[in-house]
Structure 1
């Protein structure tokens, strides 16, 4: 796969080598080409397998390890060297970098640090625009108030993305007290977010995936805690680490936020590449959007990630017009989802996603084309301004669900 970095590792210590292997094997952005337990043989392993990255743990014999770094740097200059050690001594780090190491990580390795190191090596090796490591597209779904359809959008967007075989998608329910993503998917999970957070220091990628519930659509779910009192057990630091592990394991992560905008919600907002702020065309919702945007503006970069999604467009209750809504919010509407109350009630009560229950419904088409638009932006890395409801069904991988026309309520 063109987006995978090939690695070879050496570590004479079986325990630490196996721990490193477990971490690497769970990442779909790397391929473990070879492993070695002797420093003496590793240069030959590099010469034969020609990996992109050589990972060298120097704890067993720092002097031998440092000499090995220098040897490989000379004999295989195309192989980027990543050094691992339990020592944080500045002199050791300096010697390793002078010998030819590109990155130095301190044991125990944090998955976030490893990912950043791999990204930097990929950018240096292949160019910033052509680095082969693939990042996770994190989408936070937030609401202007309760009951506007954030969970409906989060679940169905996740199922639509999971319909593409190349994608691996996880949904995290961050409404820690009253979340119901599991109900929308008609699942009874064995483990919840609190189980994962409480065991984060002992989890590897394999155990993490076993802790998730997989829906028939291919979507993985990490639900909210069962007991209300357990919500206090999930700290922002624990959640940051959980999200870091998930980002290394999946191509897409959907974060379904609560309406309380708690510290956990702000961890999610900061982690996201896109924030879908769901609202309706009524004055209380629109005023809350203005309030939220003012609050987001206090955190650098947060406001720029927000995309306004209007739900239940066409609801005949004297709704405010799209033009007036945009004037009130001071922002353009990124996407419109049509009002289809009967279909949404059916899918929620049956625990079946839209793409299975009503693949040709206008609301399904709107979610499909929203997924395509977000994917297109992620691919090009360009923030293209979108007019209200300006979905493009095109010939993308979701066009089999899109139909020929735009979603009802789009312009």
Structure 2
């Protein structure tokens, strides 16, 4: 899934500016970060929002617009510049290009022309020296097949591991609106929650959304569930897609921890994801639900392809159903097996410290590191497991 590019537009003409905005609303790889109706104010807007692309309509005042293009090119070298005009005058096009524009588009702007220009800008950014490179944004939804299978532990620890790569920016969204506890796993008392975002959805922008996130020491940003269970809060599927769109413009990785209801809200997260990790254990109720969910997702071809069954607490005990039998039941390969280490996981949860910080050398943590590297382009290095030594009378030190 391509990373969303944040775009700011300036056009003193209200009619054409509205047309440009309407065109962009139908493009899911572009987020309209800001709009401006005055050339002289646009640099202030651009310096505050730092968009990936500036779209400058030049018809209102060519001289002022061309001067603005030169300023953008000089002061924001990582910002690509698109120019739009109803004129195809050769000297105008030439001067705009000399001042720093990458693309010259005709007004009224056609969707096909706009998309082609975006692809060229994206390609130019990716083939540059690495500065300002536009990376694809990856969305991973973590969904449990039953209560207590450890889906939140998977989401929290996967996001924490991904955040260890300095090239990554990671956001964790707790979408269990009733009983989510990602904040407990991270020992965070947030100032804002997803409810604050939803209540301001009509005026949400990058800066407001960023303020609603809480940064953890591991490097990830958390958007937690609402504080109260008052029943009045509602987050619609379309509103949540808007939140995802804005987060994709900012973060390289989104990890979404969903509830077990599989309501339209959870399905909005799943359909927006590159991968859905279906967390299960080797017991009959879990495997039954795996089969049910696989059959349900098979109604949607694209969702079934993105579904990955993850076995949590692998090797829990000998009373579980065998892996061979489980494969026969679900009719699908296990994508990943996370080993059982109850003591380490409980200590991590109770301390509110993710495994990568609490126990970086354990086999359990290494499994999460390998999973993160498998899912993404990250190259996170694991530490050698610490040798385990049995101590005599160790109970005396407890």
Fold-level similarity (TM above 0.5): yes
Which residue of the other structure, out of 82, 96, 113, is the alignment partner of 1:102?
113
C-alpha displacement at 1:7, in angstroms? 8.5
- CA distance change for structure 1 residues 71 and 152 in 2, over 3 Å: closer, same or farther? farther
Is 1:195–2:177 an aligned residue pair? no
Q: Please list, as runs of the form range in 1=range in 2, the aligned pairs for 1:3-402 lying within 5 A after superposition.
A: 10-12=10-12, 15-16=36-37, 26=49, 30=52, 38-43=61-66, 46=69, 49=73, 53-56=80-83, 65-67=85-87, 72-73=92-93, 76=97, 79-81=102-104, 93=108, 96-97=109-110, 102-103=113-114, 119-122=118-121, 133-230=134-231, 232-376=233-377, 397-401=379-383
Q: Is the 8 A contact 1:225 1:231 kept in 2?
A: no
Q: Is the 8 A contact 1:141 1:278 kept in 2?
A: yes
Q: CA–CA distance in 2 between the matches of 1:23 and 1:295?
A: 46
Q: Is the 8 A contact 2:174 2:223 kept in 1?
A: yes
- TM-score with structure 2 setting the length: 0.76
- CA distance change for structure 1 residues 269 and 334 in 2, over 3 Å: closer, same or farther? same
C-alpha displacement at 1:283, in angstroms? 1.6
Q: Give the root-mean-square deviation of aligned CA atoms.
A: 3.9
Q: CA–CA distance in 2 between the matches of 1:53 and 1:248?
A: 15
Q: Is the 8 A contact 2:56 2:82 kept in 1?
A: no
5+ residue gaps, structure 1: 58-64, 84-91, 104-115, 377-395, 406-411
Q: Is the 8 A contact 1:5 1:53 kept in 2?
A: no
Q: Is the 8 A contact 1:309 1:337 kept in 2?
A: yes
- TM-score with structure 1 setting the length: 0.74
Aligned length in residues: 351
C-alpha displacement at 1:280, in angstroms? 0.5
Q: CA–CA distance in 1 between the matches of 2:117 and 2:359?
A: 41
Q: Is the 8 A contact 1:7 1:54 kept in 2?
A: no
5+ residue gaps, structure 2: 14-34, 388-398
